[in-house]
Amino acid sequence: MSRPLPPSDQLPYALYTAEQVRALDRAAIACGIPGTELMERAGQAAYGLLRERWPEARQITLLCGAGNNGGDGYVLARLARSDGLNARVLQLGDVERLGPDARTKLEAWLAMGGALEPFRELPRRSDVIVDALLGIGLERPLEGDWARLVQAANAQRAPVLAVDIPTGLHADTGRVLGVAIRASATISFIGLKQGLFTGAGPDRCGDIHFGGLAVPAVIYAGEILSARRLDWKKASGLVEPRRRDAHKGDFGHVLVVGGAPGFSGAARLAGEGALRAGAGLVSVATHPAHATHLNAGRPELMVRGLTDPEDLSPLLARATVVAIGPGLGRDPWGLCLLERVLTEDKPLVLDADALNCLAQTRIRREDWVLTPHPGEAARLLGCTTAEAQADRFATLRQLRGRYGGTVVLKGAGTLILGPSHRPPGVCSQGNPGMASGGSGDVLTGIIAALLAQGLAVEDAAEAAVCLHAAAGDAAAGDGEQGMLASDLITALRPTLNALGVRP
């Protein structure tokens, strides 16, 4: 039986590349912590998590490789056996290639009567499988016995605890190298690796935990973060409490432009998202075909049907920020509206078809937020979706370099990069229930609302992504299957007011 564990908001916010973590490890050793001691602490931390998460487990199967990751596994096996658990170690890789620290831990395991079993097949019964096969140095796809063992572990019903990183997951990019362990929980040591939180990382890692191994804080001073973990607990501080004498004009006027025939719902969701994220006023410029009923059920939206781009002029004059793209379409009606909006000197949020149209241009601005999903990112860069997903951090930087502004690369582990010198942000909240039509439209409205309330462009994007994800997690309390984008809107208000935003 699995016990609930502390939430991810107790994790550090600093993220690192694999090379940086190796440098931190070397610095800790140079500072006077022997490598064998770091390995002992890692094994103890992993074992502590195993006992906390699966207190009734008695049959532990450890998959150990021939590196330091395997050394952590030997420590865990020894501790489990000392506690009277049945710990079996399946060895893959040549133990003659073990480094001195890992060899010390192997000898301690063997000295207490433990054994190494070659991998042929997994035991029929395991309460927990421990993945201590390969660490953060993997750069090529798994093959042969390595791939077969990972596939066999994934086919078992037993939960998997990954030591430092799931075998087969790239530590820097979060992509799967051929095949990868699908863990129930992962404990990462010394520094959190950026690939754990984006791409395939969230799916393969399960619940992520951190073991600092008592490395002194001074060790980290020599490494600049490669990325920053973001969550609503921290980002909510960007949203100021409301003064008691506030009025609607203090919170900006969002103009949503979109909703071609048949797609009025996208513009409606963006508009409602902006309202629930605190915008003082929200107008929707949409196609006349459905302008008369778009705000049915939400009369707070001010709706105007447009036939000519110049009809936008009075709306643009009153707007604080413009969000364009939800349901815009790519026919002449939508293209003309986009062309008109791009002449305006106001903060912009571009989504959906606005991005698809932007891909045909070379326009660059610093006052806009671009919100592509991987397919739109691929079109913006002229590559395939698979190529865009292979290294999401590289894709993010390329988008920012080509189009300027602040880029929000949506998906599992949404990434944000703006014009400041801050490292990329990685949102560690959200869930698969949000993968439904309209969720991105709601995010567009939230970003626009926070911009309208005076947040800087990059701050607005980061806070909006985290608020959107936290609302998604709140909405998932009733289950992820069947979640709707409108469920996020319902959850926005309590989420926005839950963490210090209230007076």
For residues 275 and 403, state if they share a domain.
Answer: yes
**End of a domain among 160, 192, 225?**
225
316 CB neighbour count, 10 Å cutoff: 18
Do 206 and 68 lie in a common domain? Answer: yes
Assess whether 200 and 252 both reside in one domain.
no
Cα separation, 186 vs 175, whole angstroms:
16
The answer to whether the CB of 503 falls within 8 A of the CB of 244 is yes
Residues 219 and 255 in one domain: no
Give CA–CA dist 349/176, Å, rounded: 32
Domain containing 256 — which CATH number? 3.40.1190.20
Let me know whether 436 and 305 are in one domain. Answer: yes
Same domain (yes/no): 264, 115: no
**Mean of pLDDT values over 89-111:** 96
pLDDT digits (tens, 9 = 90+) for 307-354: 999 999 999 999 999 999 999 999 999 999 999 999 999 999 999 999
- Give the CATH number, domain containing residue 12: 3.40.50.10260
User: Positive or negative CA dihedral for 85, 90, 95, 99?
Assistant: negative
- Reported in sequence order, the residue ranges of 325-428 that DSSP labels E, i.e. its strands, are 348-350, 368-370, 406-409, 415-417, 425-427
The reply to whether 146 falls in a domain is yes
- State mean pLDDT over 453-469: 98
Q: In what order do the strands lie in the sheet with 348-350?
A: 192-193, 14-16, 227-230, 425-427, 415-417, 406-409, 368-370, 348-350, 321-324, 253-257, 281-286, 302-305
The pLDDT tens digits of the residues spanning 366-407 come to 999 999 999 999 999 999 999 999 999 999 999 999 999 999
What pLDDT, on the 0 to 100 scale, is given for residue 502?
43
Q: With beta carbons less than 8 A apart as the criterion, state whether 348 and 378 touch.
A: no
Q: Answer yes or no: is 2 within a domain.
A: no
Asked if residue 421 lies in contact with residue 255, where contact means CB atoms within 8 angstroms, the answer is no
Task: Choose among 242, 210, 267, 197: nearest CA to 465.
Answer: 197
Q: Are residues 412 and 361 in the same domain?
A: yes
Same domain, 256 and 207: no
The three-state secondary structure class of 189 is strand
- 8 Å CB contact between 89 and 73: yes
**Residue 174 and residue 296 in one domain:** no
Mean pLDDT of the chain: 95
Residue-number span of the structural domain to which 407 is assigned? 233-238+245-496
Pair (71, 117) in one structural domain: yes
The SS3 call for residue 469 is helix
Q: In one letter, which amino acid is 360?
A: Q
Residue 212 lies in a domain: yes
| Tally of structural domains, the chain | 2
189 & 274 share domain = no
Query: Within a domain: residue 502?
Result: no
pLDDT at 499: 63
Q: Which of 179, 194, 225 is the last residue of a domain?
A: 225
Does a structural domain hold residue 503?
Answer: no
Residue at which a domain ends, from 167, 195, 225: 225
Q: Are residues 145 and 36 in the same domain?
A: yes
